[in-house]
Amino acid sequence: MDALCPVCREKELVIIELGVGDHEVVLVSCAACGSRWWRRDGFETQVAEVVELAMTTARSGGRRKSGRPTKTAS
């Protein structure tokens, strides 16, 4: 992912991947200025949407086992 901080244009971003149901939710954090934003399935999203998605997934009992390997953030 070639992302750029929209605030300070820093390229070194801290990326935290979270799987929410079938969706790939990513928290991107800028180490330089502290800005944070979210992406869902590759698109920018709001934290409220992420929370709603997580709640919807929890409610529908979407705790399916997926073969997706757990990535270790370095």
Using CB under 5 A, list all residues that contact Zn ion.
Answer: 5, 7-8, 10, 30, 32-33, 35
- Measured in degrees and rounded to the nearest 5, phi and psi for residue 48 equal -60, -35
The least CB distance from residue 28 to Zn ion, in Å, is 10
The separation between CA 47 and the C-alpha centre of its own chain, rounded to angstroms, equals 9
The least CB distance from residue 21 to Zn ion, in Å, is 29
The least CB distance from residue 34 to Zn ion, in Å, is 7
Nearer to Zn ion, 35 or 45 (CB): 35
For residue 69, the 8-state DSSP code is P
Cα dihedral sign, 58-64-42-1 = positive
Nearer to Zn ion, 29 or 57 (CB): 29
